[in-house]
Structure 1
Amino acid sequence: MGKAIASMTGFARAEGEFAGTNWSWELKSVNGKNLEVRCRVPNGYEALDAFARSTFARHFKRGNFHVGLVIDNAQKAVKLQVNEEILQQVIPLATRVSNDLDAVAPSVDGILNLRGVLELVEEEESPEDSEQRLKLIEESLSVAITRMEEMRRIEGTRMAEVAQGHIDEIERLQKKAGDLSATQPDALQARFMKQMAELLKDGSPVPEERLAQEIAILVTKADIREELDRLAAHVAAARDLLNQGGPCGRRLDFLCQEFNREANTLCSKSSDVALTTLGIDLKATIEQLREQIQNIE
């Protein structure tokens, strides 16, 4: 067995904390023809968008990814600070009103209780702490990606087993079709002779050479040996891809198209009810295989 088969669907989370800042990454992926990463990060963290895209490109080949980062600064250190601009407006106004009304001058605590005079501000973060926090957030994304890869591998292994079962069934039906096709020439000849007998009830003679030619043409048109040989070759190719592993979904999807083409031709050439029924079963199994591999990377 080669590399692991990976699904294109998955989910993963990773969290972290540094100096009162908490964060969490959330990753979701679904199937897609190519690699597409949609990243949502808070204001001030736009640089992480490019980092995320380049990191995903190193780990994945296909899939639509939705990446979200949530930042919580609720635990970050804060301090009280006087808003000097508002204070310089409040003091003259309070003094003037006190004089106009001949009232007691405003107290310090009264002024400080006015809205906007005192404000909570986050403490200045050193460049070293800011760089360290960004580095840890990037490391958390790598952890989430590793978890995503593991989930996709687990799901991919299950899908590969199911796909292998469908391929085994295709092979079984292909061999059974070979057994049925061996009886087609005799059945075609018997049917043709019966039809000719009905048409020639008046006793008009038909050259045996002409009859032989017509029968040969019918048998040639109904010959499905090439289709059966190609089906067998496609079965072997599909098994090789599953054994090799890695990102093989696109090639398996192409093989499904080839499987379906041969099954359609087989049904169109069939002159036997049993062979036609088998061809329909074959097409149904191929569709089941296709549905599985749509989610393989």
Structure 2
Amino acid sequence: MIFSMTGFAAASQETPYGSFNLEIRSVNNRFLDIQFRLPDDFRRLEAAMRELLTAQLSRGKIECRLLFSPAHTLDIDQQLNHSLLERLMQLEQTIKTRYSSAASLTVAEILKWPGMLESNTAPSEEWDEIGMMLLQTALKDLKAARMREGDKLRSILLDRILQMRQLLQIASPRIPALIASFEDKLRARLEEILGNNENERIHQEITLFASKIDVDEELSRLQAHLDEVERILNQGGAVGKRLDFMMQELHREANTIGSKSVDLEISRISMELKVLVEQMREQVQNIE
């Protein structure tokens, strides 16, 4: 299986202390970039959470968010940080002494002040276990979502490979006849210009021209690159970077075919190949 870098998962649990909710969002990124949004009481879990995510994810921008809503039954008076409240009142008085027109803090503003409300029960190992358990559950769901999305991406890429192979089947038989036709035209033109006494010169010019318009080698390399892309997709795992490199190789060969073409149909096929490669490249950007 291959994995997309895009996904979302969430897990929650209700406890006597309140509700715990954890969310993980994942989008594509060149490397593994993990960001946390944790309440102050859970900051100590960041190292363990990062270790768990790093062990199971290879690429992507990951945002892990943990929310904790205290139970409504907690005693507000016992939660109030009295020392912080006293300090806040002193600061307010100092400000009003210098700026008499300053507005007073409301009760709602005071209660929302960072650190003003403390948990009725201090954070414990039990809280840590809940947080890590929710992360493991959400991570499992995230990987499953990324796998499902990866399977869709794989199907899209295989479909584009099939379309490219069909174009190559149209192009390959045209090359020998195309070269022969242009050789005849060129020979007639050169004989008209140079006469029949310079057969060796005519042969050299024809050989040089034929090598410039012959795209058989590019078609063969393109076929080999498609085989390699298909092999990588079937192998699975963290293959995004390798596929991205293969897209560059596919585009290079398709572009060369177009630049060497002297036939309208081959030029059209080259353009179609480049469009398909670009479509594949867009999908590959989302693969882990």
Shorter-chain TM band: 0.7 to 0.9
Cα 1:10–1:242 shift into 2, 3 Å? same
Identify the residue that residue 275 of structure 2 maps to in structure 1: 284
Deviations 1:181-217 (A, max 9, x none): 12221122133245446757xxx65512211111111
Identify the residue that residue 63 of structure 1 maps to in structure 2: 60
Where does the alignment leave 5 or more consecutive residues of structure 2 unmatched? 84-116
Identify the residue that residue 163 of structure 2 maps to in structure 1: 169
TM-score scaled by length of structure 2: 0.81
CA apart distance, 1:72: 0.8
Identify the residue that residue 190 of structure 1 maps to in structure 2: 184
Secondary structure of residue in 1 paired with 2:22: strand
Contact 2:16 2:71 in 1 (8 A): no
1:261 aligns to 2:258 (yes or no): no
1:44 aligns to 2:41 (yes or no): yes
CA apart distance, 1:239: 0.8
Alpha-carbon RMSD? 2.3
Deviations 1:39-67 (A, max 9, x none): 11011211122122111111110100111
Deviations 1:215-264 (A, max 9, x none): 11101122222211211111111111111111111111110100011111
Cα distance in 2 between the residues matched to 1:76 and 1:133: 18
Cα distance in 2 between the residues matched to 1:51 and 1:17: 22
Give runs of aligned pairs for residues 67-106 of structure 1, distance below 5 A: 67-75=64-72, 77-78=74-75
Identify the residue that residue 117 of structure 1 maps to in structure 2: none
TM-score scaled by length of structure 1: 0.79
1:142 aligns to 2:136 (yes or no): yes
CA apart distance, 1:124: 4.4
Cα 1:184–1:30 shift into 2, 3 Å? same
CA apart distance, 1:76: 5.4
Give the aligned residue type for 2:270: G
Identify the residue that residue 172 of structure 2 maps to in structure 1: 178
Secondary structure of residue in 2 paired with 1:140: helix
Identify the residue that residue 95 of structure 1 maps to in structure 2: none
Identify the residue that residue 30 of structure 1 maps to in structure 2: 27
Contact 1:78 1:121 in 2 (8 A): no
Give the aligned residue type for 2:10: R
Identify the residue that residue 16 of structure 2 maps to in structure 1: 19
Secondary structure of residue in 1 paired with 2:42: coil
Q: Report the number of matched residues.
A: 253
Identify the residue that residue 7 of structure 1 maps to in structure 2: 4
Cα 1:19–1:160 shift into 2, 3 Å? same
Cα 1:76–1:190 shift into 2, 3 Å? farther
Give the aligned residue type for 1:164: L
Deviations 1:273-296 (A, max 9, x none): 111111111111111111111111
Identify the residue that residue 233 of structure 2 maps to in structure 1: 242
Moved more, 16-25 or 146-155: 16-25
Cα 1:250–1:218 shift into 2, 3 Å? same
Contact 2:190 2:202 in 1 (8 A): no
Cα 1:138–1:33 shift into 2, 3 Å? same
Secondary structure of residue in 2 paired with 1:11: strand
Cα distance in 1 between the residues matched to 2:209 and 2:215: 12
Of 205, 209, 217, the residue aligned with 2:200 is 209
Contact 1:253 1:290 in 2 (8 A): yes
Aligned-pair identity (%): 33
Cα distance in 2 between the residues matched to 1:233 and 1:284: 19
Give the aligned residue type for 1:241: I
